[in-house]
């Protein structure tokens, strides 16, 4: 970093409640920047729960602003993502777009050259493994919830007012698990090889988002 970094340096600071202090994260980042001889060009400071979506947490805005050669720095990983899956996706996107990344608390520093060195490979592999475990746990909880509902005699299936068949019929459980996992609808649509609009209509007509 330092003089060799010709891109911009972005710092992302997020707190969940008014009892926490984003300034502490900012000061920690400033001290790290001073010790490593570089300056932070822009701060995104926000007070919002990690349970909110990426748009509300301004993650989408942040990722759109970052360009090849830029640097993203956070005081700790938990400020950036609400789940292992989201962190894995974000880090993989940073690596692919040749964006440097620093998480101070965890001692993570990705070089942004687009190549996965030992640290980057290990980090992404670890995230991917934990994300898959997390995905399986969500799926198991979803199945357990459906079984419990059946046991209570609740009616499961299409909500009243839904019409016609869909190529997504039978994929409800997968879609629910992905939504609870925090995967973007556009990403789910790509996995199922349908348009985002078709997926959104299916979700609404089946009431999946409220399950």
What's this model's pTM, rounded to 2 decimal places? 0.53
Non-local (6+) Cβ contacts of 3 within 8 A are 37
If asked whether residues 98 and 165 sit together in one domain, one would say no
The enclosing H or E element of 118 equals helix 118-151
If asked whether residues 103 and 171 sit together in one domain, one would say no
The long-range contacts involving 27-33, CB below 8 angstroms and separated by at least 24 positions, are: 28/75, 28/104, 29/73, 29/74, 29/75, 29/104, 32/73, 32/102, 32/104, 33/9, 33/73
Task: Report the share of the chain in percent with pLDDT over 90.
Answer: 16
CATH of the domain at 16: 3.40.50.1390
Q: Is 50 known to be catalytic?
A: no
The long-range contacts involving 106-113, CB below 8 angstroms and separated by at least 24 positions, are: 106/76, 106/77, 108/77, 112/69, 112/71
Q: Looking at residues 101-113, what average pLDDT do you find?
A: 84
Q: What is the pLDDT of residues 8-54, one digit of tens each?
A: 999 998 887 655 677 888 999 999 999 999 999 998 888 766 556 55
Which is catalytic among the residues 16, 78, 139, 198?
16
If asked whether residues 118 and 21 sit together in one domain, one would say yes
If asked whether residues 16 and 119 sit together in one domain, one would say yes
Asked whether residue 142 is assigned to any structural domain, the reply reads: no
Asked whether residue 164 is assigned to any structural domain, the reply reads: yes
Q: Which two tokens stand for residue 169?
A: 């019929």
Determine the pLDDT at residue 118: 62
If asked whether residues 191 and 88 sit together in one domain, one would say no
If asked whether residues 110 and 50 sit together in one domain, one would say yes
Asked whether residue 47 is assigned to any structural domain, the reply reads: yes
What's the domain range around 45? Answer: 2-126
pLDDT band at 5 (very low <50, low <70, confident <90, very high): very low
Asked whether residue 112 is assigned to any structural domain, the reply reads: yes
If asked whether residues 39 and 85 sit together in one domain, one would say yes
Count: domains in the chain: 2
Asked if 96 and 31 count as a contact pair (C-beta separation under 8 A), the reply is no
Asked if 143 and 132 count as a contact pair (C-beta separation under 8 A), the reply is no
Q: Looking at residues 90-95, what average pLDDT do you find?
A: 82
Q: Where are the alpha helices (DSSP H) in 17-99?
A: 22-35, 59-65, 84-96
Averaged pLDDT of the chain: 77
Better pLDDT: 200 or 2: 200
Count of Cβ atoms closer than 10 Å to residue 16 Cβ: 14
pLDDT band at 2 (very low <50, low <70, confident <90, very high): very low
Asked if 119 and 110 count as a contact pair (C-beta separation under 8 A), the reply is yes
Q: Looking at residues 71-80, what average pLDDT do you find?
A: 87
In the numeric block, the tokens 């600071």 are attached to: 13
Helix (H, G, I), strand (E, B) or coil at 69: coil
If asked whether residues 26 and 95 sit together in one domain, one would say yes
């Amino acid at each position: 970093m330092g003089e060799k970094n010709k891109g911009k340096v972005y710092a992302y600071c997020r707190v969940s409640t008014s009892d926490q202090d984003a300034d502490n994260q900012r000061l920690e980042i400033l001290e790290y920047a001073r010790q490593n001889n570089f300056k932070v060009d822009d701060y995104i400071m926000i007070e919002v729960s990690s349970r909110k979506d990426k748009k509300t947490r301004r993650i989408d805005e942040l990722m759109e602003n970052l360009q090849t050669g830029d640097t993203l720095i956070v005081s700790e990983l938990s400020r950036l993502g609400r789940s292992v899956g989201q962190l894995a996706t974000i880090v993989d996107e940073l690596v692919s777009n040749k964006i440097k990344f620093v998480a101070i608390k965890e001692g993570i520093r990705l070089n942004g050259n687009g190549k996965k060195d030992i640290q980057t490979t290990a980090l992404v592999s670890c995230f991917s493994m934990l994300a898959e475990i997390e995905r399986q746990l969500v799926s198991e909880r979803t199945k357990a919830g459906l079984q419990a509902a059946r046991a209570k005699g609740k009616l499961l299936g299409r909500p009243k007012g839904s019409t016609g068949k869909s190529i997504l019929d039978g994929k409800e459980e997968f879609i629910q698990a992905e939504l609870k996992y925090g995967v973007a609808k556009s990403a789910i649509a790509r996995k199922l090889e349908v348009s985002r609009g078709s997926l959104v209509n299916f979700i609404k007509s089946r009431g999946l988002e409220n399950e």
